Amino acid sequence: MSGAPVSGAPVSGAPVTVAVVSWNTRELLERCLASLAPEVAAGRAAVWVVDNGSSDGSAAAARRAAPWAQVVEAPGNLGFGTAVNLVAARTASPWLLAANADVALRPGALQALLDAGRGVDVGCVAPRLLLPGGATEHSVHPFPTLALSLAFNLGLHRLSPRVAERLCLEGRWDPSRPRRVPWAIGACLLLRRHAFDAAGGFDERQWMYAEDLDLAWRLRDLGFAVRFEPRALVDHQSGAATAPAFGAGTRTRFMRETYRVLRRRRGPATALSVAALNVLGALLRLSWMVPAALILRRWRGPARDAGWWLVAHLRGLAAAARGYTR
């Protein structure tokens, strides 16, 4: 784990070190810090902010809003995982809370996460993320294995709601049920320190996207579980930093990074096979969605969405075939 040097870090006996990663989301960062202030006052958390070269005054705003936080101004955009690793390398609390600046913890969320992490095999706990308006964000996913891709593209998940729910498929999972999950998005994750260290922290080759998938895969290989805790409620302004940065290319970048992790962790043959299955599945869906969209207006949105997914998988397939360099 590496990162920019920092000095003058406060000593804290809090069980949780919060690493807030910020990039040009000043108002949301202030909201995030306000939600963490009660946890600092209660002695549960010490807060670090790593600002990845923002141009909107985020670092100065953080110092004004939270004089109790340690603010690190990175020389450029380190990415999410590298920024969290920076904090991890300079602290020693039993737990790390890796968080985007666009989240805000509701009262009791941090304690609920800690309670869910009591089992010694738990390496990571994910909260229930709430989008603006109160809807639950789909934030937990299955690993992108060959078997899953084949079953999904054949539509087998539609035959068994129980299997689809167990796999945490979008629109088919129960977000009110605490459980073990394969992996959860990195917007807000409570990480057991010794599990995080044993896994080597976030892989800094994943500059943006799929660093959460990659870490969860390594945790599982070490015997650690990822748990989802619905009692821990966290507001999430999803895409606040990434949407302005990547725009319409967000989905493509996400899939390219996913295939990159798959290639590194399970080999190029598996990555190519999964990508090819997803391309074929997207083509099959488009083969009936496009005619349906020409007849029925309600199918135009789904057909357009399927087209975007086809583009994302095609580009991911190309990246998996040639290897990947950022």
* SS (HEC) of 68-107: CCEEEECCCCCCHHHHHHHHHHCCCCCEEEEEECCEEECC
Contacts of 18 (CB under 8 A, 6+ apart): 36, 39, 45, 46, 47, 48, 96, 97, 99
Domain ranges in the chain are: 16-240, 247-322
Residue 295's H or E segment, with its range, is helix 268-295
Domain 16-240 architecture: Alpha-Beta Complex (3.90)
The pLDDT score that the predictor gives to residue 239 is 66
Cα torsion 90, 94, 98, 103: sign: negative
**What are the tokens at 107?**
């009262």
DSSP character string of 225-246: EEEEEEEEEEEE-TTTTHHHHH
> Which neighbouring-strand residues pair with 225?
122
**What are the tokens at 12?**
């804290």
Range in 10-14, 56-60, 124-128, 265-269 the model is least confident about: 10-14
Q: What is the pLDDT of residues 82-128, one digit of tens each?
A: 999 999 999 999 999 999 999 999 999 999 999 999 999 999 999 99
The pLDDT score that the predictor gives to residue 11 is 43
Answer whether residue 8 shows pLDDT above 50. no
The pLDDT score that the predictor gives to residue 315 is 83
The pLDDT score that the predictor gives to residue 134 is 94
End-to-end Cα spacing for the chain: 19
Compute and round to an integer the Cα radius of gyration of the chain: 20
**What are the tokens at 75?**
């020389």
**C-alpha distances in Å from residue 72, one per residue of 2, 4, 245, 253, 289:** 14, 9, 22, 27, 49
Q: What is the pLDDT of residues 123-169, one digit of tens each?
A: 999 999 999 999 999 999 999 989 888 888 888 878 888 888 888 88
> Which neighbouring-strand residues pair with 179?
228
The pLDDT score that the predictor gives to residue 61 is 96
Report the DSSP pairing between strands 95-100 and 140-141.
unpaired
